[in-house]
Amino acid sequence: MPREGAPARTLGADCARICKFPGARADTPTVRVYLSKDVPLVPKQRRRSPLAAALQRLRRPQVVWLSLLGAMTGAGGLLVMLDGSPAPRTDGIALAAPVRAPRAPAIESVLATRRPIERAAWKRIVIHHSGAGFGSPDTLAGQARANNLQGLGYHFVIGNGTGSGDGELYVGYRWLDQLPGAHAFGPEGEWHNEHGIGICLIGDGDRKPFTPAQMRRLGDLVATLARDLGIGPEGVVLARQVSPTRSPGRLFSEPALRERLAGLRASPPVGVAAVPAVR
């Protein structure tokens, strides 16, 4: 509509023209045309979504990084779908550290396995480290998958607060289902995987000592397993004593663990092959 009171002008000479269509009858209604400068146009306001408004406020580097992240996420999902391989097994149980959860399950709950404990089979407890300051059972399971293993190779994992809770104990599916481990290698690796319980401390024992919460949890776990399975102090070994490795690192406090296990006594072996000597 024209602005109220705006003068009529023709199109060619800045004024309005009374037009009739060619061949129209005398009683055909006339058409009055107005210039745009006499008719103020109000642009149509489009409602923007909150997401669009937020994206408009982002700076160019932020937009670039978000685009890159989206592309990488999409590509990763596509690779997973194309792979078709089963995900590594991590169907275990996490027990929070007592200092963080006063009502955490007692350490003896690790003896409540899905299959009956084969006490005659377990003759060693082997202590490892993950070799990295950050980690969790999931990251270890991913590494195992990269090495063509079915899933987590350790029976137990103890967190250090980066990637998993400090002192948090993860009970792996290999222990819950009483399956051999996949944590030892070398000439005696097969025997220690069959008869050794693998415990992994998250961290790099060559670079940094393990946390007090980890060491307390390790002592509780080893003492509980050793008492129930009849494993004496000589049956608790470090990974470097049975495999060609530095694990669990030079900063692992072996004397503190030995002091904790001093009162343990081994039970006579039952139906198991001779135990290899510890180096």
Count of domains in the chain? 1
| pLDDT of amino acid 182 | 95
Question: Is 126 part of a structural domain of the chain?
Answer: yes
| pLDDT of amino acid 51 | 58
Question: Is 46 part of a structural domain of the chain?
Answer: no
Contact in structure between 141 and 70 (CB atoms under 8 Å): no
| pLDDT of amino acid 147 | 86
pLDDT tens-digit map of 78-87? 333 434 445 5
Instruction: Give mean pLDDT in consecutive 10-residue pieces for the chain, a chain of 279 residues.
Output: 48 46 53 48 58 60 53 43 48 65 74 96 98 96 89 96 96 97 94 98 98 96 96 95 96 93 59 50
What's the CA gap between 219 and 233, in Å, rounded? 12
Question: Is 21 part of a structural domain of the chain?
Answer: no
| pLDDT of amino acid 106 | 86
Domain span at residue 180 reads 93-260
| pLDDT of amino acid 80 | 38
Question: Is 192 part of a structural domain of the chain?
Answer: yes
Question: Is 15 part of a structural domain of the chain?
Answer: no
pLDDT tens-digit map of 206-231? 999 999 999 999 999 999 999 999 99
Contact in structure between 160 and 218 (CB atoms under 8 Å): no
Q: Is the peptide bond before 248 cis (omega within 30 degrees of 0)?
A: yes
- With tokens 């024992």, the residue in question is 205
| pLDDT of amino acid 96 | 72
Question: Is 12 part of a structural domain of the chain?
Answer: no
What's the CA gap between 9 and 17, in Å, rounded? 6
| pLDDT of amino acid 18 | 47
Question: Is 98 part of a structural domain of the chain?
Answer: yes
One-letter amino acid for residue 103 of the chain: R
What's the CA gap between 28 and 238, in Å, rounded? 105
Question: Is 33 part of a structural domain of the chain?
Answer: no
Burial of 82 (0-12, 13-18, 19+ CB in 10 A): exposed
Beta bridge partners of 238: 127
What's the CA gap between 154 and 135, in Å, rounded? 14
CATH number at residue 119: 3.40.80.10
